[in-house]
A and B are shown apart, each in its own frame.
Chain A
Amino acid sequence: MSVILLTQFFAGALLAVSFFSLGKLRLPALVRSFAIASTFLALMMAGMAVLRDEPSEYLAAGATFLFKAVAIPIFILWEAKKKANVSMQLFSFRRTATTWFIASFVVGLSWFLSTLLPLHTNDTNVSPLFSGLLFVSLSLIFLGFLMMMIRRDLFSQIIGLLTLENGIAAFGVVGVGGVPFLIEMGIFFIIVVSVLSLATLSERVQELYKTTDTNKLSELTD
Chain B
Amino acid sequence: MIYFLFLILVFSTVSAYFPWSLRSVRQASGALAALSFFISVFIAFPSLTHPTMVGNLWYIDGLSGLLLVMVSFLHFTSTIVSSRYITVEYEKKMIDKKQYQLYFALLPLFILSMMIVLLSNNFGIFWMGLESTTLTTVFLVSFYKKDASLEAAWKYIILCSIGISLGLIGIFFFTYGGMESGLTASEALFFSSLKANATAFTPEVVKWGFLFFFIGIGTKVGFVPMHTWLPDAHGKTPSPISAVFSGVLLNVAFYALLRVKGIADIALGNGDWTGNFFLSFGVLSVVFVGIMLLIQNHYKRMLAFSSIEHMGLLAFSVGLGPAGMIPALMHMVGHTLAKSLLFFSSGEVFLAFHSTRFVDIKGLWNLIPKTGMIFLLGILAILAVPPGPLFASEFLMISVALKNGVVWQTLVILLSLTLVFIGMMAHTIRLLFTAGKGVRVKSEKYHESEPWNSTHIVLIVELVLLFAFGLFCLTPAGYSWFESLARSFSFTSFPV
Contact = CB atoms under 8 A, between A and B. Distances in A.
A84 interface: no
B330 interface: no
A218 B205 contact: no
B139 interface: yes
Tell me the dominant secondary structure on chain B's binding face: helix
B158 interface: yes
B2 to A, nearest CB: 18
A118 B202 contact: yes
A106 B447 CA distance: 64
Contact of A176 (B135, B150, B172): B172
B189 A222 contact: no
In the complex, which range does the number of interface residues on chain A fall in?
A: 35 or more
Contacts of B135: 190, 193-194, 197
A177 B185 contact: yes
Interface stretch (B74-82, B125-133, B448-456, B462-470): B125-133
Interface string A74-87: 00000000000000
B155 to A, nearest CB: 8
A180 interface: yes
A219 B301 CA distance: 14
B176 interface: yes
A220 interface: yes
Contacts of A157: 158
Interface stretch (B21-29, B162-170, B335-343): B162-170
A163 B131 CA distance: 17
Nearest to B159: A148
A154 B154 contact: yes
Interface string A166-198: 001001100111111001001101100110011
Interface string B148-161: 10111111011001
Given A148-B158, A201-B154, A168 B176 contact: no
A48 B103 CA distance: 44
Nearest to A118: B204
A172 B172 contact: yes
A127 to B, nearest CB: 15
B116 to A, nearest CB: 11
A204 B142 contact: yes
A151 B172 CA distance: 29
A214 B139 CA distance: 19
Contacts of B295: 222
Interface string A128-149: 0000000000000100010010
A161 interface: yes
B355 interface: no
A179, A214, A216 — most chain B CB neighbours (10 Å) = A179
Q: Which 6 A-B pairs have the closest CB atoms?
A: A183-B124, A118-B204, A217-B151, A178-B185, A220-B232, A190-B131
Interface of A: 117-119, 141, 145, 148, 154, 157, 161, 164-165, 168, 171-172, 175-180, 183, 186-187, 189-190, 193-194, 197-198, 200-201, 204-205, 208-209, 214, 216-220, 222
Interface of B: 122, 124-125, 127-128, 131-132, 135, 138-139, 142, 145, 147-148, 150-155, 157-158, 161-162, 165, 168-169, 172-173, 175-176, 179, 185-186, 188-189, 202, 204-205, 208, 231-232, 235-236, 292, 295
Given A198-B157, A208-B150, 7 more contacts: A161-B162, A175-B176, A183-B124, A186-B125, A200-B139, A205-B150, A220-B236
